[in-house]
Amino acid sequence: MTTEDAIRLPEICELLEAKQPKVREQGLEGLQRAMVRNSTLTWVDNCGDLAYSFFRGLKMATGSQYCAFLGFLNRFFITDTEGTMIEALMSEAPSGFFSGLANDTPNEAEAIAGVYTLTTFILFAAPDEHTEKVVDLLTYAVESNRNDDVLAALFYCLAVLFTISPEYVRETWLDSKRMHRLHLLLTQPSTEVAEAIGHFILLLAAKGDDVWAQYLEDFREIAETSGKSVARGTSGSLRSIFSTYVDELTTRKFTKVQLTLMRHDSISIKSRGMYARYRFVQLALGVFSDKDGIIAGNNSVRDFLGLEAAASINVREDGVLVEALRSEQERELRQAEKRNRKARANGRR
């Protein structure tokens, strides 16, 4: 941790727990500047103080600022390679805080942010026995919600939870009423929710159960825009997506996707489950502009995605790539050794 960061962290904590919203905003801005300088959270030398101030500020935040706080909470959970920040957050979180994130709220943005943070908590911090409870909470929310953006978030979260508890999620959605709900949502699709539902169905169908093939006709209608209610609201990009979905549901084979994250890093997504995890990380870190850099340089994220450890050329410490730091250190060592040899040679004369 640099001296600059060490000095600034107490200031950030003080700003985060201020009563004035604009002052708390300055704290979030300072926290973001410090975070984007580092691929991990090792720069935080007092996780307890930061966690305490963070939840104090979160308790007072409303609207867009509340959503921003939850976005930072997602980043804490996802990027903590050592577990010390997660431990501090769990210690400081108010009782019932995480389960309360699934509560119904009229604020669309807060509802979406809450769903992503609850799921992030389950994936990176919660004991395994909590998973089924959250799957149930999100499933009940799907049944009662009518907002397309919230529904899309719910299905992306259910999709990633499928990757850690496939049998329970599949069993939960084999209910005839829930399967009919999927059909209804697909016959009157919006771009926001249809892609997420199709993605979720493909995960459920990956095992090869014939029961999921019943959605093939729904997929085809969206892909071909044949059907009045489908054609009106379907964009060209969605038709293209569902054309791919038709192929995957027919063959039960995922088409590999190659993604370039940074100049020195690319990843190969080889399964629908891996794609579900990648897509979730992108959505949960939505407020940050350095998402690709996080995936390239943070080993907690890379382990979650099933990738090999980050190359040092993609890891940032104090705003500088580790590879550059090592090169500079090696250069200084070589120069020091050169000076020592020169001094020894002069001493022998």
User: Tens of pLDDT along 204-242?
Assistant: 998 877 899 999 999 999 998 744 444 445 566 888 999
pLDDT surpasses 70 at 322 = no
pLDDT tens column, 14-23? 999 999 999 9
Considering the entire predicted model, what is its pTM? 0.88
CA distance 149 to 123: 22
Beta-carbon neighbour count of residue 221 at 10 Å? 20
What band does 131 get if pLDDT is binned at 50, 70 and 90? very high
Q: Give residue 179's pLDDT band: very low, low, confident or very high (50, 70, 90).
A: very high
Alpha-carbon distances, residue 335 vs 22, 325, 331, 332 (angstroms) = 49, 15, 6, 5
Domain positions in the chain = 105-253, 319-349
Which of the pair, 51 or 287, is modelled with greater confidence?
A: 51
Give the mean model confidence (pLDDT) for residues 77-82: 96
> Within 13 A of 212's CA, how many CA atoms are on the CB side?
24
